[in-house]
Structure 1
Amino acid sequence: MSIEANLEKIERLTSKVWRSYSKEDPLGHLSFNEYDYLKAIQAARVPIRLTDLAKELEVTKPSATNMVKRLERKGLVLRVSCSEDARSKRVMLTEKARAPLESESEIYTIIAQKLKVHLSEQEFDALNTLLTKALR
């Protein structure tokens, strides 16, 4: 089987698990782009400068600004002043976004367990190593 077919199967497995385990997903109404912004802000671990967010997502700063304003209106992010540069703003998640995003890790644990069923411990470790290397 080709890598493309296997990647599609992983995507379908992921979608199936998401549908099964997140019936009450409070972020389910978001567009892919909105969700992607939230994940990038979450990955930053500390409030991220708007310029850095735009760079991370490979979008223009005006696009990032517009999306952050939209997410702010939905109560999912806050813009705060940057202590290093008064002209700059940093973006952080609100609790309304933080809690559901943190609970998502359970979904990925379930997906990992479903993959692990068909692999030995050594194979599973090798898969993880290869994915880590490929996704740098």
Structure 2
Amino acid sequence: MSIEINLEKMERLTAKVWRSYCKEDPFSHLSFNEYDYLKTVQASLEPIRLTDLAKELEVSKPSATNMVKRLEKKGLVERLPCPEDARAKRVILTEKARIPLASETEIYGAVAEKLKVNLSQSEFASLNQLLTKALRPE
């Protein structure tokens, strides 16, 4: 079977688990881009500067600013003044976004458990090792 077919099956498995865990997905109304912005803000260890957010997502600063304003109107992010530069803003998740994003760990844990069923411990460790290598940032 090709990797493309296996990746599609993985996506469908993940979607199935999402549906079973989240009868009402709080992010179902978001576009992929909006969700990607939220995940990038979540991954930042500290409030992320708008400039850094734009760089991370490979978009222009005006695009990042517009998206952050849209997410702010939805109550999902908040912009804070940057202590190092009064002209800059930093972005953080609000509680409304933080709680559902945190529950994703449980969902991906369930996906991992479904994958483990057909694999030995060593095969599962190898799968994790290969995914880690293949998904390394460029």
Measured against the shorter chain, the TM-score band is over 0.9
How far apart are 1:24 and its partner, in Å? 2.1
Q: TM-score, normalised by structure 1?
A: 0.97
Are residue 73 (structure 1) and residue 48 (structure 2) matched? no
Runs of 4+ in 1 over 4 A off after TM superposition: none
- In 1, Cα distance between equivalents of 2:125 and 2:85: 44
Partner of 1:64: 64
The alignment-based identity, stated in percent, is 76
Gaps of 5+ in 1: none
Partner of 2:30: 30
Q: 1:74-108: CA deviations, max 9, x gaps?
A: 11000001111111100000000000100111110
Gaps of 5+ in 2: none
Partner of 1:104: 104
How far apart are 1:45 and its partner, in Å? 2.4
Aligned partner of 1:122: which letter?
S
Q: TM-score, normalised by structure 2?
A: 0.96
- In 2, Cα distance between equivalents of 1:12 and 1:113: 15
Residue-pair matches, total: 136
- In 1, Cα distance between equivalents of 2:103 and 2:54: 26
RMSD between superposed Cα atoms in Å: 0.8
- In 1, Cα distance between equivalents of 2:105 and 2:71: 22
